[in-house]
Structure formats: C-alpha cells, structure tokens
Amino acid sequence: MKEITSFDEWQHVLNETPQFLLFVKTNNCSVCEGLYPQVAALESDYPFNFYRVNAAEVPEMAGQLSLFTAPVVLLFNEQKELTRFARIVPMNDLKKRLDELVQWGNTDA
C-alpha cells in the first residue's frame, strides 16, 4: 500500500488516479492497526492502487474528506467517492464494493 504524506501528494493521487482505495488511519488507533493488514491483503486481488494516510499527519485531508473517526476506507472512481466504510468495515461488504469498482473500470474499455 502506497503512503500519502502530504496534501499536495493527495491532490495528485486524486486528480491522476482513475480508481483507488484510500485507507485512513490515525495515531494510537488499535482498530486501525487490526484492520490495516486485512485491507492490505486484498491489494493483490485488484487492478488498482491502494493508498494509506495517517490523518494526524495530513490533517487537511481529514477536513477535505469530512473524516471524523478512524479507520475509514474510501473507494474512488474518476475523482468521486463511491463508497465509505467508517470504523467498522465488514470485509465481505468491502470485497463486494471492490468488485463493483472493477466493473466500473471495465465499462470504460
């Protein structure tokens, strides 16, 4: 999973990456630490990039994305947020939405 370390980097990813998953964590978050390996393990199953960001280190993103808790998993397609899972992330639901995102990408071909 690629790390986003600045707001400028986030803007570049948002504007230049057609589809991606964003995993948002924060400091001292045991739920984040437990969920991260489960989400990261899915990356090899999908044809788009997975990114992570620590909202405590890039607070502008938390403001722009209206994030009030962590962890948050967001799926983006063409600069638009398609899905948001906050705090509790049912892995089966996440996989279903990731599969749908793959289909969105395949309709453009």
Q: Is the peptide bond before 71 cis (omega within 30 degrees of 0)?
A: yes
Instruction: Specify whether the CB–CB gap between 37 and 8 falls below 8 A.
Output: no
Distance of CA 36 to the CA centre of its chain: 11
What pLDDT tens digit does each residue of the chain (109 aa) get? Answer: 999 999 999 999 999 999 999 999 999 999 999 999 999 999 999 999 999 999 999 999 988 899 888 999 999 999 999 999 999 899 999 999 999 998 877 654 4
CB hemisphere CA count around 104 (13 angstroms):
19
Handedness of CA 75, 81, 87, 89 (dihedral sign): negative
Number of Cβ within a 10 Å radius of residue 12: 12
User: What are the structural domain ranges in the chain?
Assistant: 2-106
The fold of the 2-106 domain, in CATH, is Glutaredoxin (3.40.30)
**Amino acid at position 76, single letter:** F
